[in-house]
Amino acid sequence: MKQTFTIGIGGAAGQGVATPGDIFAKIFSRRGLHLNAYNAYQSIIRGGHTFLTIRTGPERVSNMGDRVDLLIPLNQDAMNRHLGLLTDGAACIYNADTITPGVPAKGALLCPLPVSKLADISRNKVAQNTLAVGAGLSMMGIGFQSVEEVLTEQFKKKGDAVVSENVGIARAGYDYATAHFEPFPWPLPMTNNRYAVLSGNIAMAMGGAAAGVKFYCAYPMSPSTGVLHWMAAHARKAGIMVRQVEDEIGVVNMAIGAAHAGVRSMCATSGGGFALMTEGLGLSAMMETPVVVIDCQRAGPSTGVPTKTEQGDLWQILGAAFGDYPRVIAAPLDIGDCFKIIPEIFNIADRFQCPGIVLCDLLLSEGRLSVDPKDLDFAPVVDRGELITSVPSTSGSSGDGVYKRYKITESGISPRAVPGVPGYAHTAASDEHDEDGVLISDEFTNPTKRRNMMEKRMRKVTGIEAAVPPPVLSGSRDADITLIGWGSTKGVIEEACEILTEQGIPANHLQIRWLVPLHGDAILNILKDTRHTIIVENNYSGQFARYLRSETSYVPNGYIRKYDGEPFMPHHIVEAVKEQLGGKSRLSVPAHEILV
């Protein structure tokens, strides 16, 4: 099993959970360590309870893991909720002036800090946080110099006095811990690697910039708002027009307008906003104007649990907009993939002149992952498809009288002229139309023309299927268990497979990235050689299992589902697999033990 170290910081919103989290993350990534961070929080600006877990290690870390090594409760509530998570070898650093500890498990260490003796708490309200950071880093065996460096950076905007005050407090915590607490048995290693730490939202926004997105608009909605924030902050440097719009109906239509005028155009929302956008997706399909829409899923239905994760929008996405039309739907597999998937889906949407939907979720959107900067390619292949932005110099003639926007072709793709090109004026319509754009419904309803246009558009599906790679099995073909997942669960399923295999239950893994087209035949071909298959997903009804069955008639041996708003932890899957192998159940719904 890989060696990792996890810190859990709990407190009320507004108590400053984020800052120690940022400091730890920076120190880890600068030591060349990988990290994964997940913040369980509530839709409240002050109060409530938030619990941030940061897991780090020299190898890739893809999920929050099963264990907390260091707990930092910032209030009594956090102590009461989480002390029970600690097992042998773990420690809890807390403010002994204000927090009464419970009884820890055997081998777990209590590390009380006499906060008022170590810092002037009348001057610095978050002194306990900084003391705990210093103490924790001492116990992890990290030299104080790197602590000082990161604190200096963190507070430099506030002036030298604030920097030296915080460095002083951290030093006091650091020295106190060195003198009084047992260090962790596994000092954090160092590597020569350097990583960027980013959220899925930042990754998708940067992926858009890399793809050549020139227009981005949105209405704020958790957990998608981070995309808007990155875009807005970097718009002028990146040359992107970013607008905040009155509602998501306006968002998708504004994005389609910009796309129609010839630029790559993107928007992001969550399930509720996506519901408002669906009529617009049909417009994109009918006018054959490519647009990319991101849905960052949160727990539904309705307003649901705005700050919690779920994979519950699949059927909404599959059924979005009435009528049949070609589309692509992709679910990024991790935060790094959030970046890569955007240029890929734009190329397909542009080539096939159809909407592209990215189905992300809160876990990736707001989680943090260390990513090798080499994997952030800002010069990916950009294929705009058959786009006419000026009079072709080779033809020597304009399109006057001959250009047909919706020309019937074998591929179903018709060259797309954007407004402003002389000789190519045409009308693009949401009504059914003929090759030249004239509305069929207004000329006279014509079944032959309608059929021809329907078939022209739908022929693009064949091309899309060829352009999108089928999924592949990871791990040994010879396994007792095959776990099937889609999108954001890749990391946790991967780790569950490693644990199962180590425990003598060889497991492999099929993760679906492209939901449409699904490549059902390729999936069946993979699954025919498996012994026991279980579909793992973060929703109640097994939305992907039902989709796979509807496309392929495939029925797995079992299901693992979770719909409590929190992500899977590896042991949830491992234990459920064992339960199902024991024949106890075909459906497991693991309980989330962390009280958040």
Those residues with Cβ within 8 angstroms of residue 325's Cβ, 6 or more apart along the chain or in another chain: 282, 285, 286, 354, 355, 457, 458
Q: Which H or E element spans position 535? A: strand 533-537
Examine residue 429 and tell whether it contacts other proteins (CB under 8 A): yes
Q: How far is the CB of 265 from other proteins (least distance, A)?
A: 7
Nearer to other proteins by Cβ, of 2 and 407: the residue is 407
Q: How far is the CB of 378 from other proteins (least distance, A)?
A: 4
Q: How far is CA 385 from CA 388, 414, 436, in A?
A: 9, 10, 20
Nearer to other proteins by Cβ, of 369 and 481: the residue is 369
Give the type of residue at 330: A
Q: How far is CA 357 from CA 247, 270, 316, in A?
A: 19, 12, 12
Q: How far is the CB of 489 from other proteins (least distance, A)?
A: 24
Residues 198-217 that bind other proteins (CB under 8 A): 198, 202, 206, 209-210, 212, 214-215, 217
Q: How far is CA 502 from CA 61, 276, 431, in A?
A: 17, 47, 59
Helix (H, G, I), strand (E, B) or coil at 213: strand
Examine residue 232 and tell whether it contacts other proteins (CB under 8 A): no
CA–CA distance, 91 with 77 (Å, rounded to integer)? 17
Q: How far is the CB of 380 from other proteins (least distance, A)?
A: 10
Neighbours of 398 (CB within 10 A): 14
Neighbours of 588 (CB within 10 A): 21
Q: Are 294 and 358 in contact (CB under 8 A)?
A: yes
Of 425, 454, 527, 581, the one binding other proteins (CB under 8 A) is: 425
User: Phi and psi for 343 in degrees, rounded to 5?
Assistant: -60, -35
Residues 318-377 that bind other proteins (CB under 8 A): 373, 376
- For residue 120, count CB atoms less than 10 angstroms from its CB and return exposed for 0-12, middle for 13-18, buried for 19 or more: exposed
CA–CA distance, 213 with 230 (Å, rounded to integer)? 13
Nearer to other proteins by Cβ, of 61 and 479: the residue is 61
Nearer to other proteins by Cβ, of 396 and 401: the residue is 401
Nearer to other proteins by Cβ, of 102 and 420: the residue is 420
What is the total residue count of the chain?
A: 596
Of 156, 158, 236, 451, the one binding other proteins (CB under 8 A) is: 236
Mask: binding to other proteins, 533-572, rule CB under 8 A, as x and -? ----------------------------------------
Examine residue 451 and tell whether it contacts other proteins (CB under 8 A): no
Q: How far is the CB of 235 from other proteins (least distance, A)?
A: 6
Examine residue 229 and tell whether it contacts other proteins (CB under 8 A): no
Of 73, 134, 262, 475, the one binding other proteins (CB under 8 A) is: 262
Q: How far is the CB of 519 from other proteins (least distance, A)?
A: 30
Of 253, 297, 511, 538, the one binding other proteins (CB under 8 A) is: 253
Examine residue 378 and tell whether it contacts other proteins (CB under 8 A): yes
Examine residue 418 and tell whether it contacts other proteins (CB under 8 A): yes
For the four alpha carbons of 101, 106, 108 and 114, in that order, the dihedral sign comes to positive
| Site residue total, other proteins (CB under 8 A) | 72
Among the candidate windows 48-56, 143-151, 247-255, 551-559, which touches other proteins by CB under 8 A? 247-255
Examine residue 195 and tell whether it contacts other proteins (CB under 8 A): yes
Examine residue 283 and tell whether it contacts other proteins (CB under 8 A): yes
